[in-house]
């Protein structure tokens, strides 16, 4: 498979807009390990090889455990994640698949119990932003390095 388009070079202004979201998210109170789990899970759902590779590596660099990384896709069935992480992962799945899920009330109730209002906005922007990156990378065939 060959990359189709370098979206960074093709429209730098658009990419800078997405990077602005990333900078804002970098200032959020969400824990860095949690943000990498969210990015990884959304990327797995979307089938983005580039982003799965990138966020697995970033999570490892941040000290994430290999066992947890290996089981993010089956987090429902493991004891390795905290209630806060479980709520974030469920939210990630529901928001990533919003056309199918319509974000169920039980998912909202679980995430609401774990995150403040500001964190909920940041978490939702995080999910939305990684979905944007996934769609760019998949559409234009960005390959893992």
Is 119 part of a structural domain of the chain? yes
Is residue 113 scored above 90 in pLDDT?
A: yes
pLDDT the model gives residue 134: 98
Is 2 part of a structural domain of the chain? no
Interval 79-92: pLDDT, tens:
999 999 999 999 99
Is 1 part of a structural domain of the chain? no
Query: What's the average model confidence in pLDDT over 24-31?
Result: 97
First to last CA, the chain: 13
**CATH code of the domain containing 118:** 1.20.1290.10
- Token representation of residue 127: 């999910």
pLDDT the model gives residue 145: 86
Look at the chain and report how many structural domains it folds into.
1
Is 145 part of a structural domain of the chain? no
Is 33 part of a structural domain of the chain? yes
Interval 93-111: pLDDT, tens:
999 999 999 999 999 999 9
pTM here is 0.96
pLDDT the model gives residue 88: 99
The DSSP-derived string for 27-92 is TSSS-HHHHHHHHHHHHHHHT-HHHHHHHHHHHHHTT--HHHHHTGGGGGG-S-S-HHHHHHHHHH
Residue 40 near residue 55, CB atoms below 8 Å? yes
Is 35 part of a structural domain of the chain? yes
Interval 40-71: pLDDT, tens:
999 999 999 999 999 999 999 999 999 999 99
Query: What's the average model confidence in pLDDT over 136-145?
Result: 96
Is 66 part of a structural domain of the chain? yes
Domain encompassing residue 101: 7-140
Is 131 part of a structural domain of the chain? yes
């Amino acid at each position: 498979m060959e990359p189709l388009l370098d979206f960074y070079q093709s429209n730098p202004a658009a990419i800078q807009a997405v990077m602005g979201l990333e900078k804002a998210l970098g200032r959020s109170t969400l824990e860095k390990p949690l943000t990498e789990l969210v990015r990884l899970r959304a990327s797995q759902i979307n089938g983005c090889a580039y982003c799965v590779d990138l966020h697995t590596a970033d999570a490892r660099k941040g000290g994430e455990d290999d066992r947890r990384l290996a089981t993010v896709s089956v987090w429902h069935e493991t004891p390795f994640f905290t209630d806060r992480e479980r709520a974030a992962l469920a939210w990630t799945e529901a928001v990533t698949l919003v056309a199918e899920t319509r974000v169920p009330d039980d998912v909202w109730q679980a995430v609401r119990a774990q995150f403040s209002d500001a964190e909920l906005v940041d978490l939702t922007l995080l999910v939305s932003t990684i979905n944007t990156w996934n769609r760019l990378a998949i559409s234009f065939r960005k390959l893992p390095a």
